[in-house]
Structure 1
Amino acid sequence: MALNEGLSIGALAARTGLAVSAIRYYEAQGLISPWRNAGGQRRFARADLRRLSFVMIAQQFGFTLPEIRAQLDLLPDGRTPTKADWGRISTAFRDHLDARIETLTRLRDNLDGCIGCGCLSLEACALYNPGDGARSKGQGPRYLMGDRPGEP
C-alpha cells in the first residue's frame, strides 16, 4: 500500500486492537476524520494510529470523550503530531491527573471509614456525619471530595 493511500478501517483495527465498530464510533464523535477513496471506502491517516492510542490511554486515566476531543482538536491537521504537540497535551492533562491522584490517595487512606456520602443509612455514619452535616456542603461524597467535618 502506498503511504498516501491511507489505512483501511480493517488495518486500523488490526493495528490498534479496536473493533471496527469502536473506530466508527470514534469517527462519529469527531476524534478521527477519514476520507473516502474512489471506491467509497474509508481511509485513515497513519497519524490516526496515534490519535486512537491516545484516546484509549486517556480513557484509562478517566478522561471523557469531550475532554479528549478538545485536546485532539488542538493537534495540527494534515501532519503527524510531533513530540512537542503531545507535550502540550500532556501538560494540559497534568493538573487533572494530579487532582485524580489526590482523590484516589484520600480514598485509599480512608477506605476503613465513612466516605462522606451523608446518607446516614448505617449507625456508624452518625459518628462521621452527625446530623447529616455533609449535606450542607453540597451533593456527592463531600468528605472524599476534600471537605472536612466541622469546616463551613
Structure 2
Amino acid sequence: MITSVQLQKLDALYANGQVEGISADQLESFSEDEADLLIQECEEVPPYTFLPMSPDMREELLSLIRSGVLGRVSEADLKYMTVHTGEALLWSVMSSNINREELASTAQRRRIKKLLAEGFLSGGSPRQIRNLTKHMAEKLIREGEYNARKGVRSEGKFN
C-alpha cells in the first residue's frame, strides 16, 4: 500500500509536471515497492513535461462527475489528471451534446416527400431525407411551401 510520504512525493512531482496521470484505481493497486518504482520513473521525466489541471478545469470536471455526466470517472481520478486528459474529457462531453440534434419527425419527412413529388422542392436521396434534423426539415418545408404558394417549381438538390 502506498504511504503518505510517497503520496507527498507524487504530489510534488505532479505539481512539477512530471506525472503523466494516474487513476485512482491504479494508485490504490500499487504496493509500496511499486509506488517507489513509479516515483523513480517520474523523477526521470523532465519537469513541465505534463501540465497539471488548473483549479477551474478540476472544478468543471468535478461538477460533471457529481452530476453523473462523467459516470466512469471518479473524483479521486482527478488527483493526478493532466490538462490533456481533462481537455479530452471535456471535449467528449461537449461534442456529444453538439451531435444530439433531434431528427425530423415522420410527419415532417412525409411533408418533404410530398413537396418533392409535387416539384416544389428539389430531390435529395432517401438517405438524406431519413437523416434530416428537425431544424433542417422545418427549413425545407418552409422553402417548399413558399415555392408552392408562388407556383415555383424547384430545380437541383437540397443538402
TM-score over 0.5 (shorter chain): no
| TM-score, normalising length: structure 2 | 0.31
**Whose helix proportion is higher, 1 or 2?**
2
Larger Rg: 2
| TM-score, with structure 1 as normaliser | 0.32
